Structure 1
Amino acid sequence: MARRKLSHEGTLVLDCEGMSELVDDREPVVALVAEARRRGMEVAVSALTIIEAVHRRTDRARLAWILSGVRIVPVGDEEARAASAMLMSAGLHGHKYALDAAVAEMALRQHRPVVMLTSDVDDMAKLCGESVRLVAV
């Protein structure tokens, strides 16, 4: 499988699927994260992504190791309100898209350029617009 090229510097954001595949040691995502780091990009995840990505069979030791090497971005009142406004602007409902909105809001605040590894390209495009480059995983 050919590697996708990422921009120099900036931030690589992992959504739930990106994080899950990294924890599961999936070669395409591991290679993309390694390439991003090689190019000087910071790797970031929303604190909510950790909650969404963990399940009973999660390798907790690998998860802890991965989290030690990424920036975990907290979600507070201001971020929650901004994510809520994004949902309304996109015409999406918080019940189904709340976590996506929180991740998208976080991505929009990161050092540019921002690349996001996601399985929800369509939904994230509605939330992020053209400000974040979306890479399907």
Structure 2
Amino acid sequence: MEVVISALTIIEAACHRTDRSRLAWLLSGTRIVHVGEEEAKAASAMLVGAGLHGHRYAIDAVVAEMAVRQRRPVVMLTSDIDDMTKLCGDRVRLIAV
């Protein structure tokens, strides 16, 4: 099993209580997918297709776009099942955390 995250997820995880060395250790075992222009355009198209818009859904769209590009089967752990279902459809198995 390969653990893959979006580079933007690192930003979401950071706060003043984050143990930076623990985060670095965790990230050392993951593949971090960078977000470029192509990925951003694809995520934007996913937002439009799902009827969503705005900064509230921006990182979710990037994560969803990254997930659907991965080799199948793909399982996503998420706290936002509703939005991820709208974005990913049945292309990704979602597990609530």
Say whether the fold is shared (TM-score over 0.5): yes
Bigger radius of gyration among the two: 1
8 Å CA contact retained: 1:118, 1:136: yes
Q: For each residue in 1:78-113, what CA deviation from the matched residue of structure 2 results, as whole angstroms up to 9, or x when unmatched?
A: 000000000001000122100000000000001110
Q: Unaligned stretches of 5+ in structure 2?
A: none
Provide the rounded CA distance (Å) in 2 between the counterparts of 1:105 and 1:95.
16
1:121 maps to which of 76, 81, 85:
81
2:50 maps to which of 50, 72, 90:
90
Q: For each residue in 1:56-93, what CA deviation from the matched residue of structure 2 results, as whole angstroms up to 9, or x when unmatched?
A: 10011110000000000000000000000000010001
2:18 maps to which of 43, 58, 62:
58
Q: Is 2:32 the counterpart of 1:72?
A: yes
Matching residue's letter, 2:86? K
Counterpart of 1:133 in structure 2 is: 93
Provide the rounded CA distance (Å) in 2 between the counterparts of 1:85 and 1:94.
12
The structure 1 segments of at least 4 consecutive aligned residues displaced by more than 3 Å after TM superposition are none
TM-score by length of 1: 0.70
Q: Unaligned stretches of 5+ in structure 1?
A: 1-40
Provide the rounded CA distance (Å) in 2 between the counterparts of 1:44 and 1:94.
25
Higher relative contact order (CA 8 A, sep 6+): 1
**What SS does the corresponding residue of 1:89 show, helix, strand or coil?**
helix
Provide the rounded CA distance (Å) in 2 between the counterparts of 1:63 and 1:46.
14
Provide the rounded CA distance (Å) in 2 between the counterparts of 1:94 and 1:129.
20
